Amino acid sequence: MKNADVLLSGTNITKVFGYGKHKKTAVQDVSFSFHEGEIVSIVGESGSGKTTLAKMLMGLLKETSGEVRYRGKPRQLKSHADRKKYWKDIQAIFQDPFSSFNVFHKVEKLLTDCMKLQGLKLTKEEQFRKMKEACSFVNLKFEELHNKYPFELSGGQMQRLMIARIFMLHPKILIADEPTSMIDACSRSTILDMLLKLRKENNMTIIFITHDVGLAYYVSDTLYIMEKGRIVESGPAEDVILNPKHRYTQQLISDVPKIHEEWNLAN
Protein backbone atom coordinates (compact mmCIF):
# COMPACT_ATOMS: atom_id res chain seq x y z
CA MET A 1 0.00 0.00 0.00
CA LYS A 2 2.83 2.38 0.79
CA ASN A 3 4.15 2.17 -2.74
CA ALA A 4 0.87 3.27 -4.29
CA ASP A 5 0.59 6.80 -5.63
CA VAL A 6 -0.09 9.61 -3.22
CA LEU A 7 -3.46 10.98 -4.25
CA LEU A 8 -4.20 13.68 -1.73
CA SER A 9 -1.69 15.20 0.60
CA GLY A 10 -1.52 18.17 2.91
CA THR A 11 1.26 19.97 4.68
CA ASN A 12 0.90 22.08 7.81
CA ILE A 13 -2.79 22.74 7.33
CA THR A 14 -4.29 25.12 9.85
CA LYS A 15 -7.83 26.41 10.12
CA VAL A 16 -8.68 29.35 12.37
CA PHE A 17 -12.26 30.49 12.88
CA GLY A 18 -13.11 34.03 13.90
CA TYR A 19 -10.63 36.74 14.67
CA GLY A 20 -9.42 38.84 17.60
CA LYS A 21 -10.68 37.65 20.95
CA HIS A 22 -12.95 34.98 19.50
CA LYS A 23 -10.18 33.31 17.58
CA LYS A 24 -10.46 29.56 17.66
CA THR A 25 -8.00 27.19 16.07
CA ALA A 26 -9.92 24.14 14.92
CA VAL A 27 -7.16 22.39 13.01
CA GLN A 28 -3.47 23.04 13.65
CA ASP A 29 -0.43 22.08 11.58
CA VAL A 30 -1.90 18.90 10.21
CA SER A 31 0.05 16.98 7.58
CA PHE A 32 -1.06 13.81 5.85
CA SER A 33 -0.78 11.84 2.65
CA PHE A 34 -3.52 9.57 1.38
CA HIS A 35 -2.68 6.90 -1.17
CA GLU A 36 -4.72 5.50 -3.98
CA GLY A 37 -7.06 2.69 -2.99
CA GLU A 38 -6.36 3.11 0.70
CA ILE A 39 -8.88 3.30 3.51
CA VAL A 40 -7.81 5.95 5.96
CA SER A 41 -9.55 6.62 9.23
CA ILE A 42 -9.36 9.88 11.07
CA VAL A 43 -10.30 9.18 14.66
CA GLY A 44 -10.92 11.68 17.41
CA GLU A 45 -13.47 12.80 19.95
CA SER A 46 -16.15 15.43 19.27
CA GLY A 47 -14.61 18.83 18.74
CA SER A 48 -11.21 17.48 17.80
CA GLY A 49 -11.46 19.13 14.38
CA LYS A 50 -12.04 16.06 12.26
CA THR A 51 -15.16 17.40 10.55
CA THR A 52 -13.43 20.73 9.89
CA LEU A 53 -10.54 18.83 8.33
CA ALA A 54 -13.03 16.84 6.24
CA LYS A 55 -14.70 20.01 5.01
CA MET A 56 -11.33 21.43 4.02
CA LEU A 57 -10.56 18.24 2.11
CA MET A 58 -13.91 18.56 0.33
CA GLY A 59 -13.09 22.13 -0.55
CA LEU A 60 -16.09 23.49 1.34
CA LEU A 61 -13.88 25.43 3.76
CA LYS A 62 -10.75 27.29 2.84
CA GLU A 63 -7.67 26.45 4.88
CA THR A 64 -6.15 29.42 6.77
CA SER A 65 -2.64 28.26 5.98
CA GLY A 66 -0.91 25.22 4.60
CA GLU A 67 -1.27 23.51 1.28
CA VAL A 68 -3.45 20.70 -0.02
CA ARG A 69 -2.04 18.90 -3.03
CA TYR A 70 -4.14 16.71 -5.28
CA ARG A 71 -2.27 14.31 -7.54
CA GLY A 72 0.97 16.09 -6.68
CA LYS A 73 -0.22 19.51 -7.75
CA PRO A 74 -1.61 22.26 -5.52
CA ARG A 75 -5.36 22.02 -5.95
CA GLN A 76 -7.21 24.77 -7.78
CA LEU A 77 -10.53 25.84 -6.29
CA LYS A 78 -10.70 29.47 -7.46
CA SER A 79 -13.39 29.30 -10.14
CA HIS A 80 -16.64 27.39 -10.15
CA ALA A 81 -15.42 25.28 -13.06
CA ASP A 82 -12.29 24.29 -11.09
CA ARG A 83 -14.37 23.30 -8.11
CA LYS A 84 -16.76 21.32 -10.27
CA LYS A 85 -13.82 19.43 -11.71
CA TYR A 86 -12.46 18.73 -8.22
CA TRP A 87 -15.84 17.50 -7.00
CA LYS A 88 -16.02 15.04 -9.88
CA ASP A 89 -13.13 13.25 -8.16
CA ILE A 90 -13.86 13.96 -4.53
CA GLN A 91 -17.23 13.20 -3.02
CA ALA A 92 -18.66 12.83 0.43
CA ILE A 93 -21.24 11.13 2.58
CA PHE A 94 -22.41 13.12 5.56
CA GLN A 95 -23.17 12.19 9.09
CA ASP A 96 -26.88 12.86 9.25
CA PRO A 97 -28.88 11.31 6.40
CA PHE A 98 -32.01 13.17 7.52
CA SER A 99 -30.46 16.57 6.87
CA SER A 100 -28.55 15.50 3.75
CA PHE A 101 -31.70 15.49 1.66
CA ASN A 102 -33.58 18.48 0.41
CA VAL A 103 -37.09 17.69 1.67
CA PHE A 104 -38.69 19.54 -1.25
CA HIS A 105 -37.14 17.33 -3.91
CA LYS A 106 -38.03 13.80 -4.83
CA VAL A 107 -35.46 11.08 -4.28
CA GLU A 108 -34.97 10.68 -8.02
CA LYS A 109 -33.51 14.18 -8.32
CA LEU A 110 -30.53 13.23 -6.14
CA LEU A 111 -29.53 10.64 -8.71
CA THR A 112 -30.30 12.65 -11.84
CA ASP A 113 -28.12 15.44 -10.43
CA CYS A 114 -25.19 13.01 -10.38
CA MET A 115 -25.50 12.47 -14.10
CA LYS A 116 -25.65 16.23 -14.60
CA LEU A 117 -22.43 16.70 -12.61
CA GLN A 118 -20.71 14.13 -14.77
CA GLY A 119 -21.94 15.96 -17.84
CA LEU A 120 -23.49 12.82 -19.28
CA LYS A 121 -26.05 13.20 -22.03
CA LEU A 122 -28.28 10.18 -21.76
CA THR A 123 -31.69 9.21 -22.99
CA LYS A 124 -34.48 8.64 -20.52
CA GLU A 125 -34.08 4.87 -20.71
CA GLU A 126 -30.33 5.01 -20.12
CA GLN A 127 -30.82 7.30 -17.16
CA PHE A 128 -33.44 4.98 -15.77
CA ARG A 129 -31.19 1.97 -16.25
CA LYS A 130 -28.24 3.66 -14.52
CA MET A 131 -30.33 4.74 -11.55
CA LYS A 132 -31.81 1.27 -11.26
CA GLU A 133 -28.35 -0.25 -11.31
CA ALA A 134 -27.13 2.12 -8.58
CA CYS A 135 -30.13 1.34 -6.42
CA SER A 136 -29.77 -2.40 -6.78
CA PHE A 137 -26.11 -2.04 -5.75
CA VAL A 138 -27.32 -0.81 -2.37
CA ASN A 139 -30.24 -3.28 -2.22
CA LEU A 140 -32.95 -0.72 -2.86
CA LYS A 141 -35.76 -0.97 -5.38
CA PHE A 142 -35.67 2.06 -7.62
CA GLU A 143 -39.23 1.49 -8.82
CA GLU A 144 -40.54 1.83 -5.28
CA LEU A 145 -38.42 4.81 -4.37
CA HIS A 146 -38.07 7.23 -7.22
CA ASN A 147 -41.39 8.95 -6.68
CA LYS A 148 -41.02 9.33 -2.93
CA TYR A 149 -39.95 12.27 -0.82
CA PRO A 150 -36.99 11.86 1.55
CA PHE A 151 -39.14 12.02 4.71
CA GLU A 152 -40.93 8.88 3.57
CA LEU A 153 -37.71 6.86 3.89
CA SER A 154 -35.90 5.43 6.90
CA GLY A 155 -32.47 6.61 7.97
CA GLY A 156 -30.80 3.47 6.69
CA GLN A 157 -32.51 3.76 3.31
CA MET A 158 -31.45 7.40 3.06
CA GLN A 159 -27.83 6.60 3.82
CA ARG A 160 -27.89 3.74 1.32
CA LEU A 161 -29.21 6.17 -1.30
CA MET A 162 -26.25 8.39 -0.51
CA ILE A 163 -24.00 5.43 -1.26
CA ALA A 164 -25.94 4.83 -4.48
CA ARG A 165 -25.10 8.41 -5.36
CA ILE A 166 -21.40 7.71 -4.78
CA PHE A 167 -21.72 4.55 -6.87
CA MET A 168 -23.02 6.61 -9.78
CA LEU A 169 -20.34 9.26 -9.45
CA HIS A 170 -17.50 6.79 -8.81
CA PRO A 171 -15.14 9.45 -7.48
CA LYS A 172 -11.45 8.88 -6.82
CA ILE A 173 -11.78 9.84 -3.17
CA LEU A 174 -14.74 9.41 -0.86
CA ILE A 175 -14.88 11.33 2.38
CA ALA A 176 -17.26 9.59 4.75
CA ASP A 177 -17.97 11.80 7.74
CA GLU A 178 -19.32 9.44 10.41
CA PRO A 179 -21.67 7.81 7.91
CA THR A 180 -22.91 5.24 10.40
CA SER A 181 -23.30 7.24 13.59
CA MET A 182 -26.98 8.10 13.12
CA ILE A 183 -28.27 4.72 12.06
CA ASP A 184 -28.94 1.51 13.90
CA ALA A 185 -26.32 -1.19 14.38
CA CYS A 186 -27.99 -3.50 11.89
CA SER A 187 -27.85 -1.07 8.99
CA ARG A 188 -24.38 -0.03 10.14
CA SER A 189 -22.64 -3.21 9.06
CA THR A 190 -24.53 -3.22 5.73
CA ILE A 191 -23.37 0.35 5.05
CA LEU A 192 -19.78 -0.52 5.95
CA ASP A 193 -19.84 -3.57 3.72
CA MET A 194 -21.15 -1.45 0.86
CA LEU A 195 -18.36 1.05 1.34
CA LEU A 196 -15.79 -1.74 1.26
CA LYS A 197 -17.44 -3.16 -1.85
CA LEU A 198 -17.21 0.27 -3.49
CA ARG A 199 -13.50 0.36 -2.82
CA LYS A 200 -13.02 -3.06 -4.30
CA GLU A 201 -14.84 -2.16 -7.50
CA ASN A 202 -13.38 1.26 -8.21
CA ASN A 203 -10.09 1.24 -6.28
CA MET A 204 -11.48 4.22 -4.46
CA THR A 205 -9.65 5.96 -1.64
CA ILE A 206 -11.95 6.21 1.36
CA ILE A 207 -11.34 8.71 4.11
CA PHE A 208 -13.37 7.49 7.01
CA ILE A 209 -14.04 9.95 9.79
CA THR A 210 -15.23 8.50 13.07
CA HIS A 211 -15.01 8.64 16.82
CA ASP A 212 -15.14 4.88 17.08
CA VAL A 213 -11.64 3.36 17.28
CA GLY A 214 -12.95 -0.18 17.03
CA LEU A 215 -14.78 0.56 13.80
CA ALA A 216 -11.77 2.38 12.40
CA TYR A 217 -9.53 -0.58 13.18
CA TYR A 218 -11.99 -2.92 11.52
CA VAL A 219 -12.17 -1.09 8.19
CA SER A 220 -8.98 0.85 7.65
CA ASP A 221 -5.43 0.42 6.49
CA THR A 222 -4.10 3.61 8.00
CA LEU A 223 -5.13 5.51 11.10
CA TYR A 224 -4.77 9.14 12.02
CA ILE A 225 -5.58 10.02 15.62
CA MET A 226 -6.65 13.63 16.20
CA GLU A 227 -6.76 15.48 19.46
CA LYS A 228 -7.62 19.17 19.81
CA GLY A 229 -6.92 19.96 16.17
CA ARG A 230 -3.60 18.12 15.96
CA ILE A 231 -2.70 14.73 14.63
CA VAL A 232 -1.06 13.04 17.59
CA GLU A 233 -0.38 9.67 16.09
CA SER A 234 -0.58 8.05 12.69
CA GLY A 235 0.48 4.91 10.94
CA PRO A 236 -0.76 1.52 9.78
CA ALA A 237 -3.88 0.52 11.71
CA GLU A 238 -2.29 -2.56 13.27
CA ASP A 239 0.65 -0.60 14.66
CA VAL A 240 -1.46 2.19 16.08
CA ILE A 241 -4.02 -0.03 17.76
CA LEU A 242 -1.79 -2.83 19.02
CA ASN A 243 1.11 -0.64 19.93
CA PRO A 244 -0.18 2.84 20.77
CA LYS A 245 2.53 5.33 21.65
CA HIS A 246 0.67 8.49 22.47
CA ARG A 247 -1.20 8.88 25.76
CA TYR A 248 -4.40 9.97 24.00
CA THR A 249 -4.42 6.94 21.70
CA GLN A 250 -3.95 4.63 24.64
CA GLN A 251 -6.87 6.30 26.39
CA LEU A 252 -9.09 6.06 23.30
CA ILE A 253 -8.37 2.35 22.99
CA SER A 254 -8.97 1.66 26.66
CA ASP A 255 -12.25 3.60 26.49
CA VAL A 256 -13.78 1.23 23.96
CA PRO A 257 -16.51 -0.64 25.85
CA LYS A 258 -15.85 -4.35 25.85
CA ILE A 259 -18.71 -6.77 26.13
CA HIS A 260 -16.93 -9.48 28.09
CA GLU A 261 -15.28 -7.18 30.62
CA GLU A 262 -16.68 -5.03 33.36
CA TRP A 263 -16.71 -1.46 32.17
CA ASN A 264 -14.94 0.77 34.63
CA LEU A 265 -16.08 4.36 34.28
CA ALA A 266 -13.90 5.63 37.10
CA ASN A 267 -10.72 6.15 35.12
Partner 1 sequence: MTHSVRILLKSPKFLIGAIATLLMLALVVIYPLVNKSDPFEMKALAFQPPGSGLPLGSDNFGRDLFLELVYGIRTSVAVGLIAGLCATAIGLIIGLASGYVGGWIDNVLTAVTNMFIVIPSFIILILVSVSVNSRSSLVVALIIGLTSWPWTARAVRAQTVSLRNRDHVNLAKISGHSTPRIIAFEILPYIASYVVMAFILQVASGILAEASISMLGLGPYNTISLGIMMNWALVFEAPVSGAWWAFIPAAFAIAVITFSLYMMNTGMDEIFNPKIRS
**Contacts with partner 1, residue ranges (CB under 8 A):** 55, 58-60, 80, 83-84, 87-88, 90-92, 94-96, 99-102, 104-105, 113-114, 116-117
Beta strands at 205-210 and 39-43: parallel, antiparallel or unpaired: parallel
Min CB(51)–partner 1 separation in Å: 11
Residue 25 Cα distances to 10, 64, 99, 180, 211, angstroms: 17, 10, 26, 27, 20
Nearer to partner 1, 94 or 224 (CB): 94
Min CB(166)–partner 1 separation in Å: 11
Min CB(176)–partner 1 separation in Å: 13
Min CB(200)–partner 1 separation in Å: 23
Nearer to partner 1, 111 or 213 (CB): 111
Nearer to partner 1, 4 or 60 (CB): 60
Residue 98, class by beta-carbon neighbours within 10 Å (0-12 exposed, 13-18 middle, 19+ buried)?
Answer: middle
Which parts of 115-239 are beta strand (E)?
173-177, 205-210, 222-227, 230-236
The angle formed by the CA atoms of residues 250, 256 and 261, to the nearest 5 degrees, is 110
DSSP state of 102: -
Find, among 263, 212, 210, the residue nearest to 53 by Cα. Answer: 210
Min CB(20)–partner 1 separation in Å: 13
Min CB(174)–partner 1 separation in Å: 11
The angle formed by the CA atoms of residues 215, 157 and 126, to the nearest 5 degrees, is 115
Name the amino acid, one letter, at 17.
Answer: F
CA–CA gap between residue 174 and residue 135 (Å, rounded): 18
Nearer to partner 1, 38 or 177 (CB): 177
Nearer to partner 1, 3 or 79 (CB): 79
Min CB(173)–partner 1 separation in Å: 12
The side-by-side arrangement of strands in the sheet containing 205-210 is 90-93, 173-177, 205-210, 39-43, 222-227, 230-236
Residue 261 Cα distances to 69, 185, 220, 256, 258, angstroms: 45, 21, 25, 11, 6
Nearer to partner 1, 116 or 148 (CB): 116
Nearer to partner 1, 45 or 96 (CB): 96
